[in-house]
Amino acid sequence: MSIVDDRNDTDGAVAVTAATAATAAPAEPGAAGAAPPPVPLLHVEGLRVSFAGTEVVKGISFTAYAGRCLAIVGESGSGKSVTARTVVGLTGAGSEVSVDRLELGDRDLSGLGERQWRRIRGKEVGFVLQDALVSLDQLRKVGHEVAEPLAVHGVGDRRARAAKAIELLESVGVPEPEVRAAQRPYELSGGLRQRALIASAIALDPPLVIADEPTTALDVTVGAQVLDLLAASKSRGTSIILISHDLAVVARLADDVAVMKGGEIVEHGPVEDILRNPQHAYTKALLDAVPSEHTRGTHLVRPADGEEKTVRSRRPVDRGRPLIEARHLVKAFRGPDGKDREVVRDVSFEVFSGETLGIVGESGSGKTTTARIALALTPPTSGEVLLRGEPWSALGLRQRRPARSRIGVVYQDPLSSFDPRWSVDRILADALSRGPRPPANATEARRRSLELLEQVGLGHGHLTSAPLRLSGGQRQRVAIARALAPEPELIVCDEPVSALDVSVQAQVLDLLTDLQDELGVTYLFISHDLGVIHHMCDRILVMKDGEVVESGGADEVFDRPRHPYTQQLLTALPRLEVAR
């Protein structure tokens, strides 16, 4: 009954969005081009979803057209994934759904039972989820999983389905489809799994495909291939609803964009309008927050009062003797076959005091292993690391221990890097005690912990919190405070923002640059995200299969890539071309 009451409050807003939705696409001449006006396929009006009395989708309306892609953009908790699931009848247990109109073609989908939904899923609507490893049954062969929709809808016999599965895998660009069909999902790489999932979603050629963060778990080049697949499907007349937090991905595939925040659509329109001329403050902030070559040297978060972004005031980089120097690093691991496999091959670099060196590469490129060698958490098989010209990796455990505080580290997943029994005060006090000026007593430890929290933009109230109770961004701030506590000269950041929403990522990146400007900290910054790397780094190493394939100044590498792999990476990178 509360839902009914709420409906009256926002009715005006809903009506407006619905009107935009209905008129936006056909009125957009550029996107439609010479093609006939788009045919509406899915109508959603006044969709509300609540869990245990909390409304997470608050009366939204949108339309998806055949042969077009509608992107629903938003951050964690915006309600975009719940929306996608509701449209295929998978809202989940304990949910309450109400909708004024939910039609696919001329078919009414509102109030369908599970049995009826099953007849529609796969046949009328395909669903591609973010994590293919979870979505595919680990114990069944990939071929069976791909042909599952055919089996469910009773298409063909066993043999025909097996043949069709191979055909489908081939159509999504899986090499050696016969071999892959006989393997199980865990034997496939992430990219292949995601393609198998797409093959399954399009097996019955459904007119509507819903893709929930289809590229988020993938490397850039693989992600680009997946986007191309979806684009090909779109050009054959399939309607695609793309759920994403990544505006660059959206720019590459979408025709229309709906920006969601707090369960409502705050802005809706053709992709060019939204990206180039955003109206809503939230959309503007989202676009601002995307790190790229345009944002170098500025803050990502616009000040509340200012129109222009603030520019960094950098300290000069000391180009004398390098702070840390890696010489011909090699790291080999013994494989199960008894052969040594080199995951890092002849990697050399130097980092000067006050600068940021970025290491960019896809998963398995050896960038994290390189970082671990720099941190002396794993010894190199050959080669060495020097700290201020003195042996570092070659030191014995005991001699190195007192000097460890000179290099700090920030991990991708801060939560797992905190002892689950410890609260923030204990984490910081412990880190302070390892520095060159350990606090003399508990009072001093507390005072300096509070200073650290202020430095990373957290309140005094967070001192006694358990990390588990903090948000992802706050946790990463605590991790940065911990890294700063022993006053290190170098901080190794291993994918520090990869698990964060774009606006939180922007805040954390701004924090890191501010700290560099204030304290002169040096960063060894590792990321798979080329935009983040370009925004943050002075110089870059591009790694592939354990080797440095290209290195140089950030602009130089990004503007004039020499190595084919770098060129390939940059072509694959979905870019956000917006008026700035």
Partner 1 sequence: MSALAPSLRLPVVGLARLTALRARPSTVLALGFVGLVVVAAVAPGVLTDRSPTAIDFPSALAAPSWSHPFGTDEVGRDLLTRVIHGARLSLGIGLGATALAMSIAIVLGFAAALAGGIVDTLITRVLEVAFAFPALLLALLLIAIFGPSATTQVIAVGIGSAPGYARMVRGQVLNVRQAGYIEAAAALGHGRWTVIRRHLFPNAMRPLVAVVTLGVGQSIVWASSLAFLGLGIAPPNPEWGALLDAGRLYITTSWWLEILPGLVIVVFAVSVTTLGRTLQRRLEGAGR
- Contact residues for partner 1 (CB under 8 A)? 51-52, 54, 56, 74-82, 85, 92, 94, 129-131, 212-213, 245, 375, 377, 397, 400-405, 407-409, 411, 413, 415-421, 430-431, 434, 468, 482, 486
Q: Which is nearer to partner 1, 342 or 413 (CB)?
A: 413
The helix (run of H) or strand (run of E) holding residue 176 is: none
Report the nearest approach of partner 1 to the CB of residue 287 (Å): 19
Report the nearest approach of partner 1 to the CB of residue 410 (Å): 10
Report the nearest approach of partner 1 to the CB of residue 56 (Å): 5
What token pair was written down for 15? 């009506």
Q: Which is nearer to partner 1, 477 or 482 (CB)?
A: 482
CA distance 25 to 68: 9
Report the nearest approach of partner 1 to the CB of residue 401 (Å): 5
DSSP class per residue in 452-516: HHHHTT--GGGGG--GGGS-HHHHHHHHHHHHHTT--SEEEEESTTTTS-HHHHHHHHHHHHHHH
Give the total residue count for the chain. 580
Report the nearest approach of partner 1 to the CB of residue 327 (Å): 22
Q: Which amino acid is at 90?
A: L
Report the nearest approach of partner 1 to the CB of residue 497 (Å): 15
CA distance 462 to 286: 27
CA distance 210 to 343: 37
Q: Which is nearer to partner 1, 10 or 95 (CB)?
A: 95
Report the nearest approach of partner 1 to the CB of residue 546 (Å): 21
Q: Which is nearer to partner 1, 144 or 331 (CB)?
A: 331
CA distance 240 to 255: 10
Report the nearest approach of partner 1 to the CB of residue 76 (Å): 4
Strands 101-104 and 107-108: antiparallel
Report the nearest approach of partner 1 to the CB of residue 54 (Å): 6
Q: Which is nearer to partner 1, 80 or 180 (CB)?
A: 80
Q: Which is nearer to partner 1, 31 or 480 (CB)?
A: 480
What token pair was written down for 92? 């989940």
What token pair was written down for 468? 């588990």
SS3 of 109-160: CCCCCHHHHHHHECCCEEEECCCHHHHCCCCCCHHHHHHHHHHHCCCCCHHH
Q: Which is nearer to partner 1, 52 or 579 (CB)?
A: 52
Categorise residue 144: left if φ over 0, alpha if ψ from -120 to 50, beta otherwise: alpha
CA distance 369 to 406: 19
CA distance 370 to 324: 13
Q: Which is nearer to partner 1, 1 or 93 (CB)?
A: 93
Q: Which is nearer to partner 1, 160 or 468 (CB)?
A: 468
